[in-house]
Amino acid sequence: MKTLDNLSLIAPCGMNCGICIAYLRYINKCPGCRGLDVTHSKCKQIKHCPTFENGRAQFCFECETFPCSRLKKLDERYQTKYNMSMIENLENIKKFGLNEFVANEKIRWKCPECGGTICVHKGYCHSCGKKKE
């Protein structure tokens, strides 16, 4: 569960990289979208977004066009396929702060069986295989 405590695993788009299949499978190879530096993102979604040039922003909600069409498309796909909203995540980060958001994520994605992490993409615990309720 240490990965769910890591603030740097919350991507600018609102994705919690700690519950992503790529991160869970390749923990030693995938540093999450932000990498080791929380002020610079490696997120493909915002790679060419001027809001994030030169570290002017950390999250998409800081942009005057939030939510932009790219984020809306991504959010729609995640809501449909994975029952998770990045826009809702961003609104919660803005409203409650990053620390409280991460604390809630830790509860939301913790496996009730073994305490491992439930993968958003697969819908089951990465450690024991228990399906998310």
Classify residue 1: in a domain, yes or no.
no
Classify residue 37: in a domain, yes or no.
yes
pLDDT the model gives residue 97: 95
* Low-confidence winner among 10-14, 37-41, 67-71, 117-121 (lowest mean pLDDT): 37-41
- Count of structural domains, the chain: 1
pTM, entire model: 0.84
* Residue percentage of the chain with pLDDT more than 70: 80
Classify residue 132: in a domain, yes or no.
no
Classify residue 49: in a domain, yes or no.
yes
Comparison of pLDDT for 3 and 80, the residue scoring more: 80
Task: For residue 7, count CB atoms less than 10 angstroms from its CB and return exposed for 0-12, middle for 13-18, buried for 19 or more.
Answer: exposed
Nearest to 108 by CA among 74, 76, 81, 85: 85
Give residue-wise pLDDT tens across range 16-64.
988 998 888 876 667 777 665 544 455 666 666 777 766 678 899 998 8
For residue 22, give its domain range: 7-108
pLDDT the model gives residue 133: 74
